[in-house]
Chain A
């Protein structure tokens, strides 16, 4: 089982739609969680951190479910400019005592006019 798993998609949605991505992680000792956005042929950029209480930034809402070991990203009122690959990122303590950041392979989103 991969340490961080995402549905690769692609998700094809019309403008204005609401779309949700899930990401599961295997290390129950994971401590911090993030969503990154990566445009084609560009570097990943931090979209938002994910907190236990959930957090919202404009049209974007991130949630964490520690019991089920998954995080989610909800995008409301999709824009053409939201088309990108969304990477789930998990940071956790491993048995060796160190911390490690794991990037998911990403979920591709296409927003159509």
Chain B
């Protein structure tokens, strides 16, 4: 069966510091991978998605970036965190069985607080 891991679970960082969040998927190959964030009491905001190694699409201009160095690894980074980056960051994967379906499965998330 497939599993998705994210770490760390919680993180407190000072403003201006760098960020690196990691997501890995097991039990599948060539998954679609996604990074979302969710502010408290708000909906999901898609940040990046990837359909393959080295292929990253950005949905919203941010001070964030993403990379996919390996098939089942997705990394979210920032060179300098802002206060507004405090949020709940979620990684998700899907296997696009056809062009019509895209059931996404989420990791446990990283709760980031920027002080």
Instruction: Report A's interface with B, CB cutoff 8 A.
Output: 31-32, 34, 41-46, 49, 87, 89, 91, 93, 99, 101, 103-106
The A interface, classified by DSSP as helix, strand, loop or mixed, is: strand
In contact, A101 and B106 (Cβ under 8 angstroms): no
Interface residues of B in 77-91 (CB under 8 A from A): 88, 90
Distance in Å from the Cβ of A56 to the closest Cβ of chain B?
18
Closest to A89 in B: B104
A91: chain B residues within 8 A (beta carbon):
100-102
Q: Number of B interface residues, CB 8 Å? A: 18
Q: Is the CB of A44 within 8 A of B44?
A: yes
A41-B43 contact, Cβ under 8 Å, with A32-B102, A101-B102:
no
Q: Once the chains are docked, how many angstroms separate the CA of A43 from the CA of B36?
A: 11
Verify A43–B103 contact, CB threshold 8 A. Answer: no
Contact B105 A46 (CB under 8 A): yes
**Which residues of chain A come closer than 8 Å to B102, judged between CB atoms?**
32, 91, 99, 101
CB proximity of B107 to chain A, nearest CB, Å: 6
For B108, the closest partner residue in chain A by CB is: A43
* Chain A residue nearest in CB terms to B99: A99
The 8 Å CB contact of B103, one of A34, A103, A105, is: A34
Listed from nearest, the 5 A-B pairs whose CB atoms lie closest are A105-B43, A43-B106, A31-B100, A103-B44, A91-B102
With a cutoff of 8 Å between Cβ atoms, the chain B residues found around residue A44 in the complex are 44, 90, 106
Contact of B43 among A31, A46, A99, A103 (CB under 8 A): A103
The answer to whether B100 touches A32, judged by C-beta atoms less than 8 angstroms apart, is yes
Contacts of A104 in B (CB 8 A): 43
Q: CB-CB < 8 A to B109: which residues of A?
A: 42-43
Q: In the complex, A32→B104 CA distance in Å? A: 12
Provide a sorted-by-A list of 11 A–B residue pairs whose CB atoms are within 8 angstroms. Answer: A32-B103, A42-B109, A45-B106, A46-B104, A49-B103, A87-B43, A99-B99, A99-B100, A101-B102, A104-B43, A106-B43
